[in-house]
Amino acid sequence: MASVDLTNQPGHLARRLQQAHYLLWNAMVSEEITSPQFAVLNALVDEPGLDQRTVGERVGLDRSTVAEVISRLGRRDLLDKVRDPRDGRRFLLRPTEEGMRAHRRLVVRTARMNQVFLAPLSAAEQTQFLDLIRRVADAAEGLRNPGDPGGPAQPVTART
């Protein structure tokens, strides 16, 4: 059997892209706050008072990953959990003052990192690239939902 040309395999390319992102993130943004942690913090800055499930849906993280991310952000005093007065089983999440300061720092660094990450592409190619990977990512989100006709997929979790 002949080998497969991995340069034409989307999964292989996505893994390489994720690896490049991870390296740039650690070098240019933060070694302490991960990209998924930033995504959760960003969602809560945008919309304070969301519950854990909603945050996970907004940022594309599965239940166990978002729970771990929220726990780590809480231990670092970057977010607060308060019991929902309308549903005592649910917690609402808000960034702390320290979380807001961290978010402001990370936004600037993330913008610079994204410029470096996309530098090999022209402005038009960057727009097209982002549109295409967004479409693939949005379609793949349906694979996480066990109720989808395509069946459930086991999400792969990155460093939380």
Domain range enclosing 19: 14-141
pLDDT score of 44: 97
- Indicate left, alpha or beta for 84 from its phi (over 0: left) and psi (-120 to 50: alpha): beta
- Tokens 């991310």 map to which residue? 69
pLDDT score of 148: 44
pLDDT score of 156: 45
Does some domain include residue 119? Answer: yes
Does some domain include residue 6? Answer: no
Task: Return d(Cα 118, Cα 131) in angstroms, integer.
Answer: 13
Does some domain include residue 54? Answer: yes
Q: What is the pLDDT of residues 72-82, one digit of tens each?
A: 999 999 999 99
Does some domain include residue 153? Answer: no
50-51/79-84 β-pairing: unpaired
| Number of domain units in the chain | 1
Task: Return d(Cα 148, Cα 145) in angstroms, integer.
Answer: 6
Binned at pLDDT 50, 70 and 90, residue 138 comes out as confident
Does some domain include residue 82? Answer: yes
106-114: average pLDDT: 98
- Is the pLDDT confidence value at 124 over 60? yes
- Is the pLDDT confidence value at 144 over 80? no
Does some domain include residue 70? Answer: yes
Q: What is the pLDDT of residues 56-103, one digit of tens each?
A: 999 999 999 999 999 999 999 999 999 988 888 899 999 999 999 999
Q: What is the pLDDT of residues 30-58, one digit of tens each?
A: 999 999 999 999 999 999 999 999 999 99
Binned at pLDDT 50, 70 and 90, residue 142 comes out as confident
**Neighbour tally for 86: CB within 10 Å:** 7
User: Which CATH number does the domain housing residue 28 bear?
Assistant: 1.10.10.10
Task: Return d(Cα 7, Cα 97) in angstroms, integer.
Answer: 45
The span from the first CA to the last CA of the chain, in angstroms, equals: 38
Give 83's strand partners: 91
